[in-house]
Structure 1
Amino acid sequence: MRRTSVIVVITATLMLALLPIVEVTAKGAKVNPPTFGTGPTQGEIVAGSVTIFVSTTTGLDAASLEIFDGVWSVVTNITSATSWLYNWDSSSVSDGNYQFRLEGWASGVSTGVTNGANFVVDNTVPSNLAFVTENPDFGTGLSLSTRAWYAIPSTGTLSFTWNATDANPGYATLTNVPGPGSPSNDGPGFLAHRWDWATGSFPSQGTWDPVLTVYDGAGLTSTETRYIGIDMVGPTVGTPTLSINSDWNNAQNLVFSNLFNGASDSSGSGIAGYEVRDSVDTTWDSVGIGGAGTLSLQEGVRTIQFRAVDNVGNSGSSSDYTVRIDHVAPVAGGWLVPELTTAQSGAVGITVQASDALSGIDSTLTKIQYGFDSDGVGQTPDITGSWIDVGYGLSSSLSSSIDWSTKQDQFLSLRAVLIDNASNSDNSVTQHFMVFPSLDLSWNSASVDRLVVRAGTEGRVNVTSMLVSNEAYAGSVVVRLQTAPADRNSNVVWTTIETRTLQPNSLADLQEQMLWTVTILNPGEIDIRLTADSSDSISERDEANNDAYMVAQGASQKMVGAVPSFSPTLVMTIIAGLYIGLQISRPKSEKCLS
């Protein structure tokens, strides 16, 4: 029972503490003064409509509500007609400190006064709000068009600061920020005036409109909105217009434009500009927001890369384009041309040797040209006066209609117009090829019947020779037999021993055998030469094979053993054999006696 009594006392005490603080002054004994059932509590800050409920109304006709702001003044009379309720409009007074009191009336007589709590009227909302999104990478955040963008990782931090003007500040809230979650309130009590917001898992891209709400002590609020975005995703570059395609080209520069065509940063911070590079380079070149420019091209198969960059510095994936660049024309080598003679007939195949290191030679445009020249000098054939196209490619054939029999001692002039697959072109250096006579005289054979003879009138050496022609020749040929000492110097001339003139048509059968005799009168070695057409009166393909050389030696009786080519006669060989046979067949005793 004692414990129950204590609990009842404590509960009653707490309930009394929650009631408006009033001061009751009794002015009559018959009816109790009214009290505040509801109303401002001690030190409370109120705004707008304040509900006053009058309690202890038994026997009362009315309760007069008065307010004190230095002097007491009547606000209104509260009666049972309004169920002893009154909604006081606090805006009817200026902001400041006030106190209510109730005075009861019964039959025109005051029943006493009850003083209410001291309170504060504050009907002014917080003003001069300052709300800052700190250190954006792009934009200010003050409007949708100037949204503050951040290139911030998921584990980053967003910082906000705020301030406001109010006579009775309360607390502030921050809402609509990147999640997950939301920041705690700043206040009431200590106000930090900032939030450093981090969740550890910010999204990679998105937009938010953070709202600052500032509450004063009366619960009045003011709000301010900012506009932010997170962008960690690079933009997509558009499809450029290029001055060249992927085929081989000799362009020195690539002209490009319209990089914005189809470019997008989705819901990001927006494209700030475009960049370009050759893939072998380590740095990118900015071309600005216009998306156009010029890039110097190097030789080879190149990969040209384009990309877009957004306003917070994110670079998108590159868009790659292959170009093939060749700045050097083909290089000509030699020519493959058969020997040209006046007997040539039919088509004559010719080939120019040429190469191109990169794009290769375009055989559909490369062509061979020819002409005829009188002296094999110069870059333009002087007989034809201009170049004549043979055909396309590195190999072709001269026309079978060319009459080569009229071209003796002229020069076939050739050049190639070389074009590669990148359109580089160059003309090869002119080369000249002489047209030789078709006739060629030469010695098929020329020999002596002995190398050594005894010098003197009987020292005769017989020479057998065969002069041949590569084609039937109807003219005459002068042939000379000549000798000269083998140990001669350059001042010694050949001595003509015999001159023969072959009759016309002697070589109609392509050959002519001739027998000669040379008498070696003096000891020593001599050179023997047969020469055909020594005056070069006959035009031949090769004048160098018109001579045939032999050697013979005249020996004296005393010098026979010293002659390098001397060999024993058959008789001497038989006598030596008989002698050796007799020596072998002799008896041993005879050998011993001897």
Structure 2
Amino acid sequence: MAVNTTDVDALLLKLWDGSEWATLVNLSSSPWIHNWDTTGVVDGDYRLRMEGFDSSASLGTSLSGNFTVDNTDPANLQFAVLSPDLGGGSSISDRAWFNIPSTGVLSFTWNATDAHLSHAVLTGVPEPGTPSNDGPIFFAYRWDWTTGSFPPQGTWTAQLEVFDTASNSVAADLYIGIDTVGPDVGPPTLSVGSEWTDATSLAFSGLNIGASDNGGCGIDHYEVRDSADSTWTDIGASGGGSIALQEGVRTIEFRAVDLLGNAGSATSATISVDQTNPVAGGWVLPELVTSLSGGVAVSVQASDDRSGIDAANTTLWYGFDADGIGDQPDVTNDWIQFGTGLTASLPSSIVWSTKQGQYLSLKAELQDNASNSATSPVQHFIVLPSLDLSWESAFVDRLVVRAGSSGIVNITSVLISNEPWTGSPSVSLQTAPADRDSSVNWTTMETRTLSSGSLVDMKETLVWSLTILTAGELDIRIVIDGDDAIAEKDEGNNEVYVVAQGAEPGTIGVVPGFMPDMLSVILAGLFVGIWMNRKRAVTLQTN
């Protein structure tokens, strides 16, 4: 407001507030300047009037144009971000979290009251760029902010500042975050190691130690699964728990999940599980005879399909039993361990020559590499005499003889032993009619006792002469040790059989089973004779 101050002795400055004029200042000397502090003035529209005076009277007045005084900041400020997945944004501890893609949208709203609003400014949002001001011509009271390249994880402090036309302003902050990345899980501590185990469950802990969401919204819980199962199991926030184990080589996976449901990369552990006992088969050992000496090698057949047999912890046991019945050897009265693994030798101190007729009892206590164990069924093996007498051969010099005192057949038999033997066996020649029934017994025709040492060379040839007095087929049997006085490994090979036939005087007979009957022989002879005669006749005619 400019006035001419020539010849002015005083200036009176007044303010019009719309209802009356109020004096602001009365200036009486140069400089004619007044600094008016408007901060204490009520907001509104005003005018100024200046009146000049000399020593005697008023010199006139000057009026300013209307102007506005605005000393008040915008009020009732509201600032919000819409639809956070977690939190509200009012503080760092209540940050508004979003699980949105890089092309997502963040929607901010605001409001304020002021008679002279100018515009609103939003800063501190995910880059790149910043939103345009809202106002002053038009107010949307909202920003839908997107860049097309939001980062996968981060935090920001969104700042809103609202201005009026007098440049008064008010500000507010919102704490926001984006998290689309899962957290890292800590290395688990396991109740079993990398070796085979027979455990039915796995206990684990420590998933929370060293776990981190790397600046994200924070870890909510941990999960576990067997890789063969598509379903994850929530085991809570403690970082420990257990899972049932199935047989086989299992891969157990662990992961952390944040408060927005983002699952992190899994860490895994390989667990080899065998819950099945080993299976015992039979035994492999030589024939047990009284001539054995030294350590006898014995093997048990066993299998374990998964972890395999733990030979170091598999033990072999033996004993001697009188009758081969039962699970406790009654000669030794206890089980005696003789080795580990699947193969071992029996003690060389066993005197096998004293064990004839007894049974070697064997069992194995099996263990696999997962500590499953099983005891094999007890098996008994009889100790046989080492000696075995048998017939190598026997034959007659004639199958058919004329019955009577001249009907003599000679039988040659070869007796053998499986080892040099100095004993004296008895040998008998017996006969019986071939057409006998069960009531007819064998008749002993001759018994010989071989001299001691006859079988040192393991073979003895005996020639027998037998007179067939009556017509008919005759079975002939030669028997070793008919009284069973000699203990042998096999008593079933002590007999040998031949057949001879006594024919009526003037006829020739053969024994059925060795040659065709007489009628067949005669018919065959007639056929051959006729065929030869016909062939000769044809040949002569041709010539």
User: TM-score normalized by structure 2?
Assistant: 0.89
Residue in structure 2 matched with residue 427 of structure 1 by the alignment: 375
- Cα deviations across residues 86-143 of structure 1 (Å, max 9, x unaligned)? 3322232323343322223344533333333334433222223221122222222111
Alignment of 1:261-272 (within 5 A): 261-272=209-220
User: What SS does the aligned partner of 2:127 have?
Assistant: coil
Q: Which residue of 1 aligns with 2:145?
A: 197
Equivalent residue for 1:371, pick from 296, 300, 319? 319
Contact 1:452–1:565 (8 Å) recurs in 2:
no
| 1:471–1:108 distance in 2 versus 1, CA, 3 Å | farther
Which residue of the partner structure matches residue 71 of structure 1? 20
Name the counterpart of 2:397.
449
Q: Is the 8 A contact 2:402 2:505 kept in 1?
A: yes
Please point out which of 446, 453, 477 is paired with 2:425.
477
2:261 aligned partner = 313
8 Å contact from structure 2 (residues 288, 382) kept in 1 = yes
> For the structure 1 residues 92 and 234, does the alpha-carbon distance in structure 2 shift closer, same or farther, using more than 3 Å as the test?
same
Letter in 1 for 2:20: V
Give the whole-Å Cα distance in 2 for the aligned partners of 1:442 and 1:409.
Answer: 20
Aligned to 1:298: 246
Change (3 A) 1:273 1:85: farther
Q: Which moved more, 1:113-122 or 1:221-230?
A: 113-122
1:210 aligns with 2:158: yes
SS at match of 1:226: strand
Q: Secondary structure at the match of 1:364?
A: helix
Tell me, yes or no, if structure 1 residue 332 matches structure 2 residue 274: no
Compared CA separation, residues 562 and 464, structure 1 to 2 (3 A) = closer
Q: In 1, Cα distance between the equivalents of 2:359 and 2:155?
A: 84
> 1:522 offset after TM fit, Å?
4.0
Deviation at 1:505, TM superposition (A): 4.8
Q: 1:170 to 1:512 in 2, by over 3 A?
A: same
Q: Distance in 1 between matches of 2:81 and 2:405?
A: 134
Q: 1:272 to 1:539 in 2, by over 3 A?
A: same
Distance in 1, matches of 2:425 and 2:371, equals: 57
SS in 1 for 2:251: strand
Q: Is the counterpart of residue 400 in structure 1 residue 348 in structure 2?
A: yes
Deviation at 1:297, TM superposition (A): 1.0
Q: How has the CA–CA distance of structure 1 residues 372 and 58 changed in structure 2, closer, same or farther, with 3 Å as cutoff? A: farther
Does the 8 A contact of 1:455 with 1:556 survive in 2? yes
Larger Rg: 1
1:25 aligned partner = none
8 Å contact kept, 1:256–1:294: yes
Please, what is the CA RMSD of the aligned residues? 2.9
Distance 1:61 1:536, change over 3 A: farther
> Is the 8 Å Cα contact of residues 452 and 566 (structure 1) preserved in structure 2?
no
Secondary structure of the corresponding residue to residue 211 of structure 1: strand
Which residues in structure 2 correspond to 1:168-567 (within 5 Å)? 168-556=116-504, 560=508, 564=515
Q: Higher mean Cα deviation, 512-521 or 252-261?
A: 512-521
Cα distance in structure 1, aligned partners of 2:140 and 2:58: 52
Higher alpha-carbon deviation: 93-102 or 274-283:
93-102
More displaced 10-residue stretch of structure 1: 524-533 or 500-509:
500-509
Q: Residue by residue, what CA displacement relative to the aligned partner does 1:158-217 show, whole Å, maximum 9, x if unpaired?
A: 111122233433322111111111111122233222211001111222211001112233
Hey, what's the Cα distance between the residues in 1 that align with 2:370 and 2:328? Answer: 27
- Give the counterpart letter for 1:293 in structure 2: G
Kindly state the Cα deviation for residue 345 of structure 1 after the two structures are TM-superposed: 0.4
Match of 2:100 in 1: 152
Partner of 2:78: 130
Point out the more displaced range, 100-109 or 418-427.
Answer: 100-109
**Structure 2 Cα separation of the partners of residues 152 and 509 of structure 1:** 102
Worse overlay, 366-375 or 488-497: 488-497
In structure 2, the partner of 1:22 is none
Measured in 1, the distance between the counterparts of 2:474 and 2:79 equals 125
Instruction: Check 1:78–1:152 CA distance in 2 against 1; reply closer, same or farther (3 A cut).
Output: farther
**Any unmatched runs of 5+ in structure 1?**
1-35, 37-53, 568-572
Q: Distance in 2 between matches of 1:487 and 1:80?
A: 177
The verdict on how the C-alpha distance between 1:566 and 1:558 changes in structure 2, with shifts beyond 3 A counting, is farther
Q: 8 Å contact 1:350–1:395 — kept in the other structure?
A: yes
**Alignment-mate amino acid for residue 519 of structure 1:** T
Paired residues, what number? 524
List alignment gaps of at least 5 residues for structure 2: 519-524
Letter in 1 for 2:23: V
* Aligned residues of 2:473 and 2:500 also touching (Cα < 8 A): yes
Q: Aligned pair in 2 of structure 1 residues 361, 179: CA closer, same or farther (>3 Å)?
A: same
CA positional deviation for 1:474: 4.6
- 1:398-433 superposed Cα distances (whole Å, 9 cap, x missing partner): 111111111111111111111111111111111111
Report the Cα distance in structure 1 between the residues aligned to 2:383 and 2:229, rounded to whole angstroms: 56
CA contact 1:451–1:565 (8 Å) conserved in 2: no
- TM-superposed deviation, 1:554: 2.9
> Is the 2:82–2:109 Cα contact (8 Å) retained in structure 1?
yes
* Structure 1 partner of 2:522: none
- The answer to whether the Cα contact below 8 Å between 2:118 and 2:163 also exists between their aligned partners in 1 is yes
CA distance in 2, matches of 1:79, 1:412: 142
